Structure 1
């Protein structure tokens, strides 16, 4: 299936905050879902945590090797991502790829806990590897947009 065909089947999602992303994941868990992509709800929630938690805990040092590109990435790629125009089919770094055998309910709960932790975090946030230092609101917008990008590949099943 072509990228254009896949994109036409996806949900049009935009989350105003991370709680809305967590609520959507919980709703998909309750309703059941059909996949338009490669990952299950559990895999998506794990991936979102793997990307979100380093905002508080710090990213691996090697991810800053290309920090000199951050101004360009902030100016060119970040606005596109925030608008919800994320590219489809770009491979993710292996450290952020979730394993196949995960439990949906467990991972939805762990994603929710990560969201709560992010929202209550009192310390500094780590510089994003691609975009550099961001304040909490900008970082939450980025993570919420990232969640919408992935969760749009899951289509809720209608109620019986």
Structure 2
């Protein structure tokens, strides 16, 4: 991490493939890390979070289902507006290791995104937001990607 209070990039995409292109561009250009995670770590996190929409979430996430109406009403508007809270700890399954290869994780994020967008069945209920249709699911994951990739600035 280079700064304790960095000026972050404003990233506003309308689709998830744009986030993949940004990750690929960062890989090609090199980047300055303004947060805690490398490009590989951010892409790992984005991939494992969005894969759960198809593969399912750990059983214990269902314990938070009674809170969904509150979370959907309070947090979802912030996420969709590109104003996700910073520094909220995540569960350990979503925390990347320190030895990840950027190129491997960018490719895995791209594959995960293609899989998500080509999925024809229903999505598993999001732990915080509940059942999501295809459009809302893509919006949330697009905003999530913007939240994390804004901490990485291209070198060129």
TM-score, structure 1 as length reference: 0.94
- Counterpart CA distance in 2 for 1:87 and 1:120 is 29
- 32, 46, 49: which one aligns with 2:47: 49
Deviations 1:64-121 (A, max 9, x none): 1010111111111100111011111111111100101011111101100001000100
CA drift at 1:131: 0.6
Q: Hey, what does 1:58 align to over in structure 2?
A: 56
Deviations 1:121-146 (A, max 9, x none): 01110000001001011011000000
Q: What runs of 5+ residues in structure 1 fail to find an aligned partner?
A: none
What's the RMSD between the two structures over aligned residues? 0.9
SS in 2 for 1:34: strand
SS in 1 for 2:32: strand
- Counterpart CA distance in 2 for 1:77 and 1:91 is 15
CA drift at 1:42: 0.3
Q: Hey, what does 1:138 align to over in structure 2?
A: 136
Moved over 3 A (4+): none
CA drift at 1:35: 0.3
CA drift at 1:45: 0.4
TM-score, structure 2 as length reference: 0.96
- 109, 119, 125: which one aligns with 2:107: 109
Q: Hey, what does 2:154 align to over in structure 1?
A: 156
- Counterpart CA distance in 1 for 2:68 and 2:90 is 18
Q: What runs of 5+ residues in structure 2 fail to find an aligned partner?
A: none
- 57, 63, 68: which one aligns with 2:66: 68
Q: Hey, what does 1:88 align to over in structure 2?
A: 86
CA drift at 1:14: 1.4
- 80, 90, 97: which one aligns with 2:95: 97
SS in 2 for 1:101: coil
Q: Is structure 2 residue 122 aligned with structure 1 residue 127?
A: no
Q: Is structure 2 residue 38 aligned with structure 1 residue 40?
A: yes
